């Protein structure tokens, strides 16, 4: 005799529970008594009614209740998944303190342990097997009723200086987009993090039973290109006009992808162009402080990946705008990789690297082409590190540079902190306080001539949120090089403006505490360049300023 089927009780979620589960509308304890009655929240919340300011104070105390950076990162992610307004208000109010937790360097560990600390879904995961359904999957995005202003996408292959993190790379788009909102003011419902899971070559991940990504080697060649094209085509069809930011792609893919799609989409690569823009901004400030104009700088760059070449490209573009010929500007650079100086006889160089390769005849009488010898022979005014080689800027090299340059510009930009080419305190000591320093990761303040000086963190956060604000407000259809250079120069202007009337050395970058205000000025510069380049509708400076102010979302509860 057949047994009767088990009958499960039917459950219906109450409207109040649904409201509390939506982080975009949830106010938590800030719901008024009237709202609680109208929305079916009575009994679902503690009796106290708090203001947003009171919630921020309580959340800030809770944040400090965790001693380890990763645990603080997890707490903030959970807060973001619970209450978007409270999360972004907290980050905005304590940006300088929370930035290293939300993003670098802590986000690196969060990516490494993504599968272990995974709590709730955010964004979209696209896999090779689903490539023919990408448009349908894009329709599964949260808040489908709203347009998407910004997508940040990664394939997880080159996460910070940590290498291949596979599906764990999703931590980067999530972190970046939280800053698009906190600083740029892009509404959180109009952002979309995406992970292209093309597999991983990380043996530790492939052997980890808890790994949440595809257990397969990375796609290569035509298959990889097909995956990227399928994704781009889906975005074009489903989300036309959305800003698409490529993030943490390996050098072998980053430049080709950008070259292939930059004239087809509203898109940019943050590692190539964002890193370059903020570096140019810091270098422009340093050039003014040192008295050596940008076109007169001699630059040695350690590292020849996509970020390093992007930095060189943008600085060269700015030099050309300031009067140098293309050949003259290119001659101001000496770029090294793990095998030494890029020279023309090297057959393995990419086209982008070859553009900066030196003539072999220049080095025939040199004692090798390593960093120490290049610095000794060139006598650079600026030394930039994008190599992930911890400690590469040694005391010998820095003292040599300081012996030929009164105000040496030294930027150890690799991150996380464990991969930085030098510690700023050492650079200050080795140059008797003369070095002009910017780093890729956060470091504690320095004492120079009796003044406490913050270490400028050459973080892309100075540029990418403002770029998102600029293209959204101006309705730009492309991101041009001139827009990036304009943003870089605006970064330098904001730094000088913020330091006006203050005692002590001029910081190379604006204070992080005022970044929402700076973002508006940087966005304005980029938007004006977009109009001048003909990639945005005609508008006056005042009209663009008004559009930017209207676009920049502020985290507060709606009545």
pLDDT band at 71 (very low <50, low <70, confident <90, very high): very high
Strands, DSSP E only, in 292-398?
299-302, 333-337, 340-341, 382-385
> What is the domain count for the chain?
3
Position 28 scores a pLDDT of: 97
Distance of CA 33 to the CA centre of its chain: 41
pLDDT band at 9 (very low <50, low <70, confident <90, very high): low
Residue 28 in any domain: the answer is yes
Q: Is 83 annotated as a binding residue?
A: no
Residue 474 in any domain: the answer is no
User: Residue 87 sits in which domain range?
Assistant: 15-102
Residue 461 in any domain: the answer is no
CATH number at residue 90: 1.20.1370.30
Q: Is the pLDDT of residue 499 over 80?
A: no
pLDDT in tens, 428-474: 999 999 999 999 988 999 887 777 888 999 989 999 999 999 999 99
The residue among 422, 445, 468 that closes a domain is 445
Total number of residues shown for the chain: 559
Q: Is 164 annotated as a binding residue?
A: no
Question: Per 3-state DSSP, what percentage of the chain is helix, strand, and coil (rounded to 5)?
Answer: 50, 10, 40
208-233 mean pLDDT: 97
Q: Is 248 annotated as a binding residue?
A: yes
Same domain (yes/no): 85, 54: yes
Position 135 scores a pLDDT of: 97
Same domain (yes/no): 295, 400: yes
Same domain (yes/no): 97, 238: no
Q: What is the mean pLDDT of the chain?
A: 94
Q: Is the pLDDT of residue 377 over 70?
A: yes
Residue 331 in any domain: the answer is yes
Taking the C-alpha atoms of residue 296 and residue 289, their distance in angstroms, rounded to an integer, is: 14
pTM of the model: 0.92
Position 210 scores a pLDDT of: 96
Sheet holding 340-341, edge to edge: 340-341, 333-337, 299-302, 382-385, 409-412, 436-439, 456-457
Does the annotation count 176 as an active-site position?
A: yes
Same domain (yes/no): 317, 404: yes
What separation in angstroms does the CA of 341 have from each of 11, 314, 349, 447, 490? 68, 20, 11, 34, 32
Does the annotation count 103 as an active-site position?
A: yes
Position 473 scores a pLDDT of: 98
CATH number at residue 406: 3.40.50.720
Q: Is 493 annotated as a binding residue?
A: no
Position 5 scores a pLDDT of: 58
CATH number at residue 192: 3.40.50.10380
Taking the C-alpha atoms of residue 488 and residue 482, their distance in angstroms, rounded to an integer, is: 10
Position 29 scores a pLDDT of: 98
The active-site residue out of 103, 180, 211, 224 is: 103
Residue 383: other Cβ atoms inside 10 A: 29
Same domain (yes/no): 259, 312: no
The residue among 200, 230, 265 that closes a domain is 265
* Residues ≥6 apart with Cβ < 8 Å to 139: 238
Q: Is 271 annotated as a binding residue?
A: yes
Q: Is 247 annotated as a binding residue?
A: yes
Residue 305 in any domain: the answer is yes
Distance of CA 540 to the CA centre of its chain: 29
The residue among 405, 421, 445 that closes a domain is 445
Same domain (yes/no): 289, 251: no
Position 145 scores a pLDDT of: 83
Handedness of CA 147, 24, 469, 196 (dihedral sign): negative
Same domain (yes/no): 289, 401: yes
Position 238 scores a pLDDT of: 97
462-488 mean pLDDT: 97
Same domain (yes/no): 237, 337: no
* Whole-number percent of the chain with pLDDT over 90: 88
Residue 479 in any domain: the answer is no
Same domain (yes/no): 439, 404: yes
Across 154-187, b (16+ Cβ under 10 Å) vs e yields: bbbbbbbbbebbbbbbbbbbbbbbbbbbbbbbbb
pLDDT band at 6 (very low <50, low <70, confident <90, very high): low
Residue 237 in any domain: the answer is yes
The active-site residue out of 176, 211, 261, 462 is: 176
Same domain (yes/no): 31, 133: no
Taking the C-alpha atoms of residue 483 and residue 266, their distance in angstroms, rounded to an integer, is: 12
Q: Is the pLDDT of residue 551 over 70?
A: yes
Taking the C-alpha atoms of residue 389 and residue 303, their distance in angstroms, rounded to an integer, is: 9
161-188 mean pLDDT: 96
Same domain (yes/no): 142, 255: yes
Same domain (yes/no): 440, 383: yes
Of 141-145, 400-404, 418-422, 524-528, give the lowest mean pLDDT range. Answer: 141-145
Residue 503 in any domain: the answer is no
């Amino acid at each position: 005799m057949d047994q009767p089927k088990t009958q499960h009780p039917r459950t219906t979620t109450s409207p109040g529970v649904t409201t509390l589960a939506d982080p975009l509308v949830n106010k938590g304890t800030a719901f008024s008594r009237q709202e609680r009655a109208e929305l079916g929240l009575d009994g679902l919340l503690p009796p106290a009614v708090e203001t947003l300011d009171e919630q921020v104070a309580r959340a800030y105390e809770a944040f400090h209740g965790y001693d380890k950076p990763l645990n603080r990162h997890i707490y903030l992610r959970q807060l973001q998944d619970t209450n978007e307004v409270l999360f972004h208000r907290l980050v905005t109010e304590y940006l300088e303190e929370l930035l290293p937790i939300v993003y670098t360097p802590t986000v690196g560990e969060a990516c490494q342990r993504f599968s272990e600390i995974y709590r709730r879904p955010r964004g979209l995961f696209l896999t090779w097997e689903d490539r023919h359904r990408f448009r349908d999957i894009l329709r599964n995005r949260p808040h489908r009723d709203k347009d998407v202003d910004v997508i940040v996408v990664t394939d997880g292959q080159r996460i910070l200086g940590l290498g291949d993190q596979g599906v764990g790379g999703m931590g980067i788009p999530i972190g970046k987009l939280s800053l698009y909102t906190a600083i740029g003011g892009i509404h959180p419902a109009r952002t979309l993090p995406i992970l292209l899971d093309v597999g991983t070559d990380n043996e530790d991940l492939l052997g980890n039973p808890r790994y949440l990504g595809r257990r397969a080697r990375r796609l290569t060649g035509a298959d990889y290109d097909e995956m990227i094209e399928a994704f781009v085509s889906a975005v074009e069809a489903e989300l036309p006009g959305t800003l698409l930011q490529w993030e943490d792609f390996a050098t072998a893919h980053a430049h080709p992808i950008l070259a292939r799609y930059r004239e087809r989409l509203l898109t940019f690569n943050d590692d190539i162009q964002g890193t370059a823009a903020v570096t140019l901004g810091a270098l422009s400030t340093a050039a003014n402080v040192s008295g050596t104009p940008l076109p007169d700088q001699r630059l040695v760059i350690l590292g020849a990946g996509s970020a390093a070449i992007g930095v060189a490209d943008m600085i060269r573009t700015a030099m050309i705008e300031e009067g140098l010929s293309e050949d003259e500007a290119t001659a101001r650079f000496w770029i090294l990789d793990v095998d030494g100086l890029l020279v023309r006889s090297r057959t393995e160089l990419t086209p982008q690297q070859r553009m900066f390769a030196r003539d072999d005849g220049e080095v025939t009488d040199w004692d090798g082409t390593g960093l120490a010898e290049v610095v000794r022979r060139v006598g650079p005014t600026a030394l930039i590190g994008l190599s992930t080689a911890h400690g590469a800027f040694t005391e010998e090299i820095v003292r040599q540079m300081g012996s030929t340059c009164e105000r040496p510009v030294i930027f150890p930009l690799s991150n996380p902190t464990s991969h930085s080419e030098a510690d700023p305190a050492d650079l200050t000591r080795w140059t008797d306080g003369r070095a002009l320093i910017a780093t890729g990761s956060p470091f504690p303040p320095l004492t120079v001539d009796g003044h406490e000086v913050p270490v400028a963190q050459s973080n892309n956060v100075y540029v990418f949120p403002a770029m998102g604000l600029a293209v959204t407000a101006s309705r730009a259809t492309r991101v041009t090089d001139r827009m990036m250079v304009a943003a870089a120069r605006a970064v330098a202007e904001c730094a000088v403006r913020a330091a006006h009337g203050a005692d002590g050395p001029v910081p190379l970058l604006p204070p992080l505490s005022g970044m929402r205000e700076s973002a508006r000025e940087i966005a304005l510069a980029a938007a004006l360049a977009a109009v001048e380049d003909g990639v945005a509708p005609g508008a006056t400076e005042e009209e663009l300023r008004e559009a930017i102010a209207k676009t920049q979302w502020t985290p507060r509860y709606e009545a």
